[in-house]
Chains A and B, each alone.
Chain A
Amino acid sequence: MTDTPVTTASAAGSGANLTRLFERVALILVWLLLIGGFGAAMPTSFLNWGNFAILFASYAPAALLALAIIVPLTAGDYDLSVGATLTLSSCVIGVLNVWQGLPIGLAIALALCAGAAVGLVNAFFIIYVRIPSLVVTLGTTSLITGLVQWMTNSSTIGGIDNSLVMAVVGGRFLGVPYAFYYAIAAAILMSYVFDFTPLGRRLLFVGRGREVARLNGIAVDRVRLGALVTSGVLAAAAGVLYAGVLGSADPYSGLNFLLPAFAAAFLGATTILPGRFNPWGAIVAVYFLATGITGLTMLGIPLWVTNVFNGGALILAVTISQLTRGREASDIG
């Protein structure tokens, strides 16, 4: 008699487990379907490793940006300024290395510092002045964009030290330029912090229940500040990659990464570890979106479709996570 509920529970459990497993890999399956679709349409030009190698490398800055975003998102804060920070970082490198003649290593270090500074400014207004993060980072986005235009005279700065270019796209492993592996390294580091350190667990509690975190002895403000500074530094690192991929500093194109990166962050939260912003989900999502855009472009579909695709993916991603997660709270309320 006591057995009956146990068996039904475990039967229901295995059913739930299958659903859960499917949920975890659904995006990867859709990605494979997408590749299959484009591959069927363009067997030679799309389905070759060279195409994918370029795709993996050129979207590495976007991948790093998506990773940057999920840190404060997990702690419950939006950081919209990552796109502008990416631009700032690559232009700091351009100005200091090309115009001022600073060694590339020093220029990179200062670019990362600039990213940290953006994080600190955001954190000051979000945490201590208590302004909603969406508003603050929208403001700093415009502020930084203006600063970058002033700094660069609104012109693209070419001729960045070749050693950076070589380090980012010069070498290849399995045919894929190094740029991709930097993003992967960041994802490995981040999933270590998220899953295998107390800090990651605290970050999660700060995002889901500030008062719970506080009453359990977590220094909530410090965690949020750390998350915002981390996203600034990671966005600056994405800028370093971007400068390396282009070999120049472009004061305008960086903001184009913002939307796909956000879309990837939310889409990534529906996969691998559904319901949580997670690094591997974000990486998968970035390359899912990249595959879609590349395939559509190769099919000769006009440029505006890219924007529709990115925007649509963002809304769809949030919708999916709302629908599948109707039973649970999502990260951002």
Chain B
Amino acid sequence: MTTHETPAAQPAPPVLRLDGIAKTFGGARALKGVSFEVAPGEVHGLLGKNGSGKSTLVKILAGFHAPDPGGVMEFNGEPVSLPLRPGDFRRLGMSFVHQNLGLIPSLTVLENLRLSDLTAIGRGVINWSAEWRAARDALARFDVPLDPEERIDRLSAVDRALLAIVRAFEEVRVAREATGRPGLVLLDEPTPFLPREGVEKLFTLVRSIAAHGSSVVFISHDIDEVMTITDRATVLRDGDVAGSLVTREATHEQMVEMIVGRKLARAAPVRAVHAAHARPRVRLDGVASRTLRPTSLTVGEGEIVGLTGLIGSGYEELPYLAFGARRVTGGTLALDDGPATALADLTPRRAIDLDLALLPGDRQGASGVDSLPIVDNMFLPDLGRFFTGGLLRNGRMKREARQLGEAFEVRPNDPLLKLSALSGGNAQKVLIARWMNRRPRLLLLDEPTQGVDVGTRQHIFAALRQAAAGGMSVICASSDAEQLADICDRVLIFARGAVCEELVGEQISKESIAEACYASLDRAAASSPVNGTPS
């Protein structure tokens, strides 16, 4: 399966060799000295949980982060001086395909494919017919039958991914022609949003790239995919290399164990008989969207339910769907003894009136406005309450904001400061205070502690627990297993758009959640996946 262009007698040096690459952020060591090699013509898998260091490593190679001094990097046997500058990777013969693909939707296939060439400084007049031929040839070389004139936004998700990969490889090919050495394409989670048959096409493309003599690093959380496409795989765990495997000789279980860091208890999945919680507070029935299959969920009064899964599994949509903030394809919401509301008719306004609250994950884009004062951000949904006698009582708002800021330990606690004057953690306290102060029946959270320091985290958790003890129900979507383990009474694991496992009480731990995320994948595949037929 591996194709070497170089004669076997003199083994070619690895395309990429890293030794002792470390990275410290503040006091935290994201990478503790990673070493690994990618052979020429090899497809090399890179696996690991969230926070294992995968993305830090990619960003070092892309020149976004400078590694700690002392690491060694060689490309085709030649030492490369670290840190790399952004764009250096291109000169070396490396190319990246990130999850967002980096295509411009309003331009054509041709323009996107030749983007870096067409916009190069010092370039003369564009010969469009020559460009057209070059694009057609590039697409034909990899058997990707796209019309060079087609606009990107008219392409399917699969075709876009294929185009991005062809472009990455073309960049590498140009560099190779200059140096005569193999290149390297890094694919960073290219598959989570692709349908099954699209993944097959993508794999065919990856194989033909390897057959052309370049190497591919395939970064994924999907063990099945890594088993299918790679020759070898390296697993990162907590910033360290947990091990390297020859894929053909490895088993699925070995990989999961390496990722999670301990032996998997592969007992029958514990389908919890959920302890009858005080009394049901929220009933979500058949909630469905384009990425979520019909999902039903009951949350008890004062219960904190966590939602998690791997990227693209659909869990992160649920808080928004339950709040009427995104388009559903079906489902109802009922609170306490109230009637069921069709989610299709629910708007954020109505949800707020029903005593729901949503804290979105995108703090600056969806949760608060940085350029406006803390007090206004805090009381945005409550303005009506402060409007008496024909006047908005700015003084009373300010006083209450100060009290609320005190209670939530906002530092500095000056309600007239702009939200941007606060650290990420303090800004999050303001926004969480906004909702908790309303004493909602159900609080919906999406990644509530992203970009939040440890101290603030603990503070937010304590506030959540206290409010839950007072009867507030919480649904918390998060990719952070540790956080879920800290606060949740129950954790639902999603895979391929559906709940596939439920962890309750004592079963919940950071490890068991991570484990369930990976173990769930094949179980979900066994049932009918939302994306198509399983391979």
Residues on A lying within 8 angstroms of B by beta carbon are 9, 195-198, 200-202, 204-205, 208-209, 211-219, 275, 327-330
Contact = CB atoms under 8 A, between A and B. Distances in A.
Interface stretch (B363-371, B461-469, B499-507): B363-371
Contacts of A217: 347-349, 351-353, 381
A212 B369 contact: yes
B409 to A, nearest CB: 16
B440 to A, nearest CB: 12
Nearest to B325: A215
A233 to B, nearest CB: 21
Contacts of B351: 217
B80 interface: no
B391 interface: yes
B190 interface: no
Nearest to B371: A329
Contacts of B412: 9
Given A195-B392, A214-B348, A328-B420, A204 B367 contact: no
B339 interface: no
B380 interface: yes
B93 interface: no
Contacts of B367: 212, 215
B423 to A, nearest CB: 15
Contact of B368 (A9, A201, A212): A212
Nearest to A209: B369
Contacts of B392: 195-198, 200-201
B376 A205 contact: yes
Nearest to B364: A209
B369 A215 contact: no
B75 to A, nearest CB: 40
Q: Which of B348, B349, B380, B394 has the most CB of A within 10 A?
A: B380
B304 interface: no
Contact of B365 (A9, A200, A209): A209
A35 to B, nearest CB: 33
B349 to A, nearest CB: 4
Contact of B380 (A195, A200, A216, A329): A216
Interface string B354-393: 0000101010011111111000100011011011001110
Given A195-B394, A208-B369, A215 B376 contact: no
A330 B323 CA distance: 30
A217 B354 CA distance: 12
Contact of A215 (B366, B371, B418): B366
A215 B383 contact: no
Nearest to B367: A212
Nearest to A207: B369
A201 B386 CA distance: 12
A165 B391 CA distance: 35
A198 B384 contact: yes
A201 B376 CA distance: 8
Nearest to A327: B420
Contacts of A209: 365-366, 368-369
B381 to A, nearest CB: 5
Contacts of A208: 369, 371-372
Contacts of A205: 369, 372, 376, 380
Contacts of B376: 201, 204-205
Contacts of A198: 383-384, 386-387, 392
Interface in B393-418: 394, 412, 418
A215 B367 CA distance: 8
A219 B418 CA distance: 24
B371 A201 contact: no
A218 B367 CA distance: 13
A211 B370 contact: no
A59 B352 CA distance: 46
Contact of A328 (B348, B371, B391): B371
B412 to A, nearest CB: 7
A171 to B, nearest CB: 30
A287 B352 CA distance: 45
Contacts of B358: 215
A9 B413 CA distance: 12
Given A196-B391, A329-B370, A214 B381 contact: no
A213 B360 CA distance: 12
Given A209-B368, A217-B349, 15 more contacts: A196-B391, A197-B391, A198-B383, A198-B386, A200-B392, A209-B369, A211-B366, A212-B368, A215-B325, A215-B360, A216-B348, A217-B347, A217-B352, A217-B381, A328-B418
B372 A211 contact: no
Nearest to B387: A198
A98 to B, nearest CB: 40
A195 B365 CA distance: 24
Contacts of A329: 370-371
B491 to A, nearest CB: 25
B431 to A, nearest CB: 10
Contact of B349 (A196, A200, A211, A219): A219
Contacts of B369: 205, 208-209, 212
Nearest to A9: B412
B393 to A, nearest CB: 9
Contacts of B362: 211
Contacts of A218: 349, 380
A91 B383 CA distance: 41
B275 to A, nearest CB: 33
A76 to B, nearest CB: 12
Contacts of A327: 420
Contacts of B418: 328
B447 to A, nearest CB: 15
The 6 closest A-B pairs by CB, nearest first: A198-B383, A217-B349, A329-B371, A209-B369, A217-B352, A208-B369
Contacts of B384: 198
Contacts of B383: 198, 201-202
Nearest to B359: A215
A213 B377 CA distance: 10
A317 B412 CA distance: 32
Contacts of A328: 370-371, 418, 420
A197 B387 contact: yes
Contacts of B371: 208, 275, 328-330
Contacts of B391: 196-197
B328 to A, nearest CB: 16
Contacts of B370: 328-329
Interface in B27-66: none
Interface string B413-448: 000001010000000000000000000000000000
23 contacts: A9-B412, A197-B391, A198-B383, A201-B380, A201-B383, A201-B392, A205-B372, A205-B380, A208-B371, A209-B366, A211-B366, A212-B365, A212-B366, A213-B380, A215-B358, A217-B347, A217-B352, A217-B353, A218-B349, A218-B380, A275-B371, A328-B371, A330-B371
